[in-house]
Amino acid sequence: MKYPQNKQVSFNEWSFIEAILNFISIFIGSFFVGTSIGCITALITKLTKIGMFPLLETALILLMSYSTFLISEVANWSGIVAVLFCGITQKHYTYHNLSYATSIRVVQIFELLNFLAESFIFSYIGLSVFLSVDHKWDIKFISVVFVSIQVSRAIAVYPLCLLLNLYRNPPIPCIYMHILTWSGLRGAMAFALAIRNTASEIRQLMLTATLTTVIISVIVQGGLTLPLIKLLKIKNNINPEVEEINYAIN
């Protein structure tokens, strides 16, 4: 996505509506690009004999995935969101069409890339706290953002879990809902989106709020997740199939 570098953004009565419409258009465009390329990759791997050439098949997956980002950026949409939906589509459809050798190789490559990217982004987050000059601090705004995120997470988790429990056997326990709400960590993707443009004070404020939220959620919420699991006496390493059988017997 392209941004004006020296343009000051003012807020008026239409800014909120414009922001929503802009978000919807970017989301729809990115979703379309990501799912389309994911489906194209799935069709290529299913309808051709490219599986006979594992190296070529692996290159196809990597290049098609990267082209998702490039196409979306050229169209002034979100490359990150497009890659997200491309990955979801490929996981559901493309992966099952791959040859055995390629499926193993692709998983290993993406695990390596994921590890390197996460290591880099969290190192960059730590450096940005002290080295970035694009911070604009507003404790009141940051507090509102953090609380709003927690509330929105709870609003999303509890009603959906209760709805699932109408048809799910066994039902999701309340203590699991508490953990799902608490463990909503915000990290690499949120920071990557916020740091892409800090040309105005509003965007600098958004960067600072995002950075603060990421650090608090990762360090505080992430650090307290395991003690909370022990406090609520939630069992670890449970086989879901065994749990369902025990529930049916009891």
Please spell the DSSP secondary structure of 71-104, one letter per residue: HHHHTTS-HHHHHHHHHHHIIIIIGGGS-HHHHH
Question: What is the number of other CB atoms lying within 10 angstroms of the CB of residue 205?
Answer: 19
No. of helices (H) and no. of strands (E), the chain? 10, 0
| pLDDT at residue 243, rounded to an integer | 58
| pLDDT at residue 133, rounded to an integer | 67
For the chain, the structural domain boundaries read 12-130, 132-249
Q: Residue 47's closest CA among 93, 109, 92? A: 93
Question: How far apart, in Å, do the first and last CA atoms of the chain sit?
Answer: 55
| pLDDT at residue 171, rounded to an integer | 85
Name residues of the chain where pLDDT drops below 70. Answer: 1-13, 132-133, 185-186, 236-250
Please check whether residue 42 is in contact with residue 94, taking contact to mean a CB–CB distance below 8 angstroms. yes
- The count of residues in the chain is 250
DSSP state for residue 195 in the 8-state scheme: T
| pLDDT at residue 2, rounded to an integer | 47
| pLDDT at residue 208, rounded to an integer | 86
Please check whether residue 153 is in contact with residue 217, taking contact to mean a CB–CB distance below 8 angstroms. no
Radius of gyration of the CA atoms of the chain, in A: 22
pTM of the model: 0.67
Residue type, 28: I
216 exposure class (CB count in 10 Å sphere: 0-12, 13-18, 19+): middle
| pLDDT at residue 126, rounded to an integer | 78
| pLDDT at residue 12, rounded to an integer | 64
